[in-house]
Structure 1
Amino acid sequence: MAQEPLLAKDIDRLINQPPRVQRLRRAIFAAADGLRPVVDLSRVYVDGLDNLPSDGRFVLVGNHTSAGWPEIVMSPYFVHRHLGVRVRGLAVNKVKELTGFRRDLAEALGAVPGQPDVGAELMERGETLLVFPGGGRDMLKFKGEEYRLMWQGRSGFARLAIAHEYPIVPVGLVGGDDVFRGLVERNGTWERLTRPLGERLHGLAGVGVPLMRGMGPTLLPRPQRMYLRFGQPISTTRPARARADKWEISVKQRTQTELEAILDDLQGLRTDDPFRNLNPLAWGAALQPS
């Protein structure tokens, strides 16, 4: 089903945020800056910041994890910390249904409805964007699907970037799929039986309810160090002789391939890192970017 374009007044609100949203945004950024020493204590492994175009005119394309929050929080945080720019995340369309403080908070954090007209308007204004092509499916991981991209052939992000000649920066995060462990496999008995319930809970047709565990048999999150890498920018400028449809597929595939390579490499680094489980005794021996 085609998405209904946002009304002009809704797009204007995203660009020219109400004063209360602006105040909330300033408070959030001030709090983030104040928490810098705390963030540094967790020794997030982050590299590739020098790959970010200094003008802030690029779109980050990342992987969702079953933990959900690390990639959503850390990618914008470190971009802002390095470049001083705000990252606008193309989120689920339910964002536009929020009201009151929840809507103000989402907008202050940079979340906007993941629609082409919204992305196009932000790109016209040179803003930094963040996209997770897998959407909710990338979060709903089953046993053995850790760090697997589930983009289901989606290439809308590539089409949008090409239309505005926006470079794509793949950004991979490892650690978020280790906070919880999947207990059941996709297409197994449990997953198939829970598909009707899953559709009501998370809104995705044909996807059941994952069973997860954290520390021991509980749902308490397992302490995990996070590993974040920003890859080399991918040019989206279409060659003169390239067909538009084939170029879109090419850009999408290159982005996916490079992001998968980042995830594979970070998983390898994590394996040999004594601080990967945030053991305080290994803090001084934590693996550092070269």
Structure 2
Amino acid sequence: MPPLYTFGKLTVGTAMIVGWRPRVEGLENIPATRGAIFASNHLSVADELFLGAVVPRHLAFWAKAEYFNGTGVRGRFNRFIMEGLGAIKVERAGGRAALTAFDAAIPKLRDGDMVVVYPEGTRSPDGRLYRGRTGAARLAVAAGVPIIPVGVIGTERIQPIGQPYPKLVGWGKATIKFGKPIETDGRPDDRTSLRELTDEVMAEIQKLTGQEYVPRYAPAKPGSD
């Protein structure tokens, strides 16, 4: 676990656990040493804070390339933070540039690291669960690692969309549920098979959260993550 990530767990992670006392279920489904992908619903920016706080292993989150490529004192500081946390750089230009994030994630997964992916592609605008994109399935099959469905409940009340930081202690209760791993080793990587695997993952997430499912992609808004 990178030293800066460890420091973050001891400080921010401890504050999240002590302040909001999240309910956690299914930690036994997290592999002790093997790489895996956490495929989670996405209600709030706080989702990443809670996941990082309750998962005992290092999680490699995605971070937009601007945090790595900035100049000046602020740019160097952001780059130091992102690299120190073991984040994966994401190019938002699309095409081959965007695929470099997947290229960077595959060796991390094969070496036993864990990566968080939000199949919906953005935060839910209304609390419902939207159709998943196939990126998580494609990455899992390419790396030969399982997908762990994750259900996050209540974080949209702690840090609603547009709120720059979590509300003060006592504002709502968060629950994080980890489902049983879905094995992907040996699965085909054609479009139809990846779609089927993605739908399987989304069905498991829905079982964990009880959200209403919407069979279309979530609308992306400017500045959404």
The normalised TM-score by structure 1 is 0.58
Contact in 1 for aligned 2:40/2:118 (Cα 8 Å)? yes
Residue type of the partner of 1:146?
G
Distance 1:254 1:101, change over 3 A: same
- The 2-side partners of 1:172 and 1:261 are apart by 8
Unaligned runs of 5+ in 2: 91-100, 212-225
The CA deviation string for residues 57-111 of structure 1, in whole angstroms up to 9 with x for no partner, is 111011221x312x1011122112xxxx211112334443342112222333332
Aligned to 1:45: 23
How many percent of aligned residue pairs carry the same amino acid? Answer: 21
Q: Secondary structure at the match of 1:255?
A: helix
Contact in 2 for aligned 1:95/1:112 (Cα 8 Å)? no
Q: 1:253 aligns with which of 194, 199, 216?
A: 199
- The 2-side partners of 1:88 and 1:180 are apart by 22
Q: What is the CA RMSD across the aligned residues, in angstroms?
A: 3.0
Q: 1:58 aligns with which of 36, 42, 60?
A: 36
Aligned to 1:27: 7
Q: 1:262 aligns with which of 180, 202, 208?
A: 208
- The 2-side partners of 1:180 and 1:29 are apart by 19
Q: Secondary structure at the match of 2:82?
A: helix
Contact in 1 for aligned 2:9/2:52 (Cα 8 Å)? no
Residue type of the partner of 1:233?
P
Aligned to 1:121: 107
Larger gyration radius, structure 1 or structure 2: 1
Aligned to 2:123: 138
Residues 1-290 of structure 1 aligned to structure 2 (within 5 Å)? 23-31=3-11, 35=14, 39-40=17-18, 42-65=20-43, 67-69=44-46, 71-80=47-56, 85-98=57-70, 99-114=75-90, 115-135=101-121, 137-138=122-123, 141=125, 145-149=126-130, 151=132, 154-179=133-158, 223-239=171-187, 244-264=190-210
Q: Secondary structure at the match of 2:155?
A: coil
Residue type of the partner of 1:175?
G
Q: CA deviation at 1:28?
A: 2.5
Residue type of the partner of 1:149?
Y
Contact in 2 for aligned 1:64/1:134 (Cα 8 Å)? yes
- The 2-side partners of 1:23 and 1:177 are apart by 30
Q: CA deviation at 1:243?
A: 6.8
Q: CA deviation at 1:32?
A: 5.2
Contact in 1 for aligned 2:45/2:159 (Cα 8 Å)? no
Aligned to 1:4: none
- The 1-side partners of 2:87 and 2:189 are apart by 33
* Paired positions, count: 194
Q: CA deviation at 1:42?
A: 2.9
If asked which structure has higher relative contact order (CA below 8 Å, sep 6+), I would say: 2
The normalised TM-score by structure 2 is 0.73
